[in-house]
Amino acid sequence: MEGRDRGFYGKIIFTGKLKAETGLKIGAGRNVAEIGGVDSPVIRDPLTHYPYIPGSSLKGRLRSLFEIYVNSNREKYNINTTENFFNKNIGTKENPINIHVCPDYESALNCPVCRLFGASGDKSNFPSRVIVRDLHLTPEWKGRPLDELTEVKPEVSIDRITSKTNLRQFERVVAGTEFEFEIIYNVERLDQWEDDVRNILTAMALLEDSYLGGSGSRGYGKVKFEFESVEFKTPEYYRTGDEGQKVKIDGAKGKPVSEILKNFEELFSGVKSRLEAG
């Protein structure tokens, strides 16, 4: 039966800025380039035409980086070392794309990846405890003219026999652009929330040392997070709307991921005592 052991002890909500430190290429997925046009234009809000980052892109990236991390630290996470951790091929036989998905509810509940990001196994599903909202431009960046937000960058490839050049054009969001992020974590188990939250932060830290979007190996997509607020909303808050039923973590404002991780105990002590008090 689904939903067993699921409780609701509140939500922890992280907000802040995601800054593109190098150009960012989150394509609209148009594969066929128009002749003389731009290959893979950036994804835009259909109403405002501002570029944005789909929450699913960020969440997917956090998951896959965390999967690799867990796989390399199997003992720490009590993962069976004889089985292949990347157990599901979502590609084709010829073009395998292997990801990790726990096959059933029980294993997902004990898996640091699946209980955070969800698992749609063959037998049962495990719903994700993390929600990542679409990331839109910060008000400051929304104030800028549309054509200053992206740039079309020519990329030259050189034939390694003749030295003749091929020119292709790519669109990317300019370096420096800032988006607002909101990541929501549902506290469902009192014995797991602490590890889960640490794991979200770890995935965010891993992303800062990797890339978001396309052409990462060409240097695109280096991003940095900066927290604006971290808040714990108790079930009582959802019943009464009483601001006093929220726990605000004041020390988080303006901090990078590494600082939050480093001072985790101290920062989350208020949340902890509230959860332990029940």
Partner 1 sequence: MTGMTLKVLSPLHIGNGRELTPLDIYPGDGVVYVLDTGKLTADLINMGISLEEILHLLKNPPGDAYVWKGYIDELHLNPSDYALYALRIHGEPGRRSMQIKEFIKLNGRPYIPGSSVKGALRTAVLYKALKECGDSGTAMNVVSGIKNKRGQVERKTAELAREIGWSESLVDFYLAKLPQERTDGKHADDLLEAIVFGMESDRRSGVKYEPKRDPMRALIVRDSGAIGKKRLAVYHVDVIGNVQPIPIWVEALEPGTTAEIEVKVDTELLRLNSDYFNGVLWECLRDWGRPWEAFETFLWEAVEEFYTAVRKAETAEARKFGTKAAEVKRFYSSLEGHGGHVLRIGWGSGWLAMTIGVLLKENRRWEGVRRQLGLGQKPGGRGLSRDFPKTRRLAKGMPMGWVVLE
Instruction: Report the interface residues with partner 1, using CB under 8 A.
Output: 22-23, 68, 71-72, 86, 92-96, 151, 153-166, 174-176, 210-211, 216-219, 222
Is position 130 an interface residue for Zn ion (rule: CB under 5 A)?
Answer: no
Please state the closest distance from residue 237 (CB atom) to partner 1, in A. Answer: 41
Select 197 or 260, whichever has its Cβ closest to Zn ion.
Answer: 197
From the list partner 1, Zn ion, none, which binds 114 (C-beta under 5 to 8 Å, kind-based)? Zn ion
Please state the closest distance from residue 119 (CB atom) to Zn ion, in A. Answer: 6
Please state the closest distance from residue 199 (CB atom) to Zn ion, in A. Answer: 12
Q: Which of 53, 113, 130, 257 binds Zn ion (CB under 5 A)?
A: 113
Q: Which of 26, 53, 109, 114 binds Zn ion (CB under 5 A)?
A: 114
Cβ neighbours of residue 97 closer than 8 Å, sequence gap 6 or more: 89, 90, 91
Q: Which of residues 87-106 bind Zn ion (CB under 5 A)?
A: 102
For binding to Zn ion (CB under 5 A), which residues are involved?
102, 111, 113-114
